[in-house]
Amino acid sequence: MSVEVEVHYYEVVEALELYLKENYKMDVDFDIYSENCMLADGVVEVAYHELEPVYKKYKNGRVVKNEYGNPIIDRKKSKNVKKYICFDEGASFTFNINNKSGY
């Protein structure tokens, strides 16, 4: 059994403020509705890497498929591309934790 944990935008922003205060002695305000908001663009941006697949092809240009009819990804030619998303009020982090300790 696992426990689903969801951390909402305001909880993440509060944790970031606390982290910067404790580790860098910076007293910042990331509340986008505050006059004292210190976010340059008013948003928190999340960078992540995503595999941009290149599919294997025959010499005639047709895509090679597996026994189920799905195209086969050529791992050597595929690249990880850095992408960005806006982490705003409607966003949250969700993850599952194995419940071995009886949470």
Statement: the pTM of the whole predicted model exceeds 0.85: no
76 band by pLDDT with thresholds 50, 70 and 90: very high
7 band by pLDDT with thresholds 50, 70 and 90: very high
Better-scored residue on pLDDT, 92 or 33: 92
pLDDT score of 46:
92
Q: How far is CA 18 from CA 10, 22, 96, in A?
A: 12, 6, 24
Q: What are the counts of helices (DSSP H) followed by strands (DSSP E) for the chain?
A: 1, 4
Contact 38, 29 (CB under 8 A): yes
List, for residues 32-75, the tens digit of each pLDDT value. 888 888 888 778 899 999 999 999 999 999 999 999 999 999 99
- Per-residue pLDDT, averaged over 7-27, amounts to 95
pLDDT score of 103:
61
Tokens found for residue 19: 């982290």
Q: Where are the beta strands (DSSP E) in the chain?
A: 2-8, 44-52, 79-87, 92-98
**Mapping DSSP to helix (H, G, I), strand (E, B) and coil, where does residue 31 land?**
coil
For the chain, the structural domain boundaries read 1-39, 43-91
How far apart are the C-alpha atoms of 4 and 97, rounded to whole Å? 6
Angle subtended at Cα 16 by Cα 103 and Cα 93, rounded to the nearest 5 degrees: 50
**Mean pLDDT computed over every residue of the chain:** 92
Q: Which amino acid type is present at position 13?
A: V
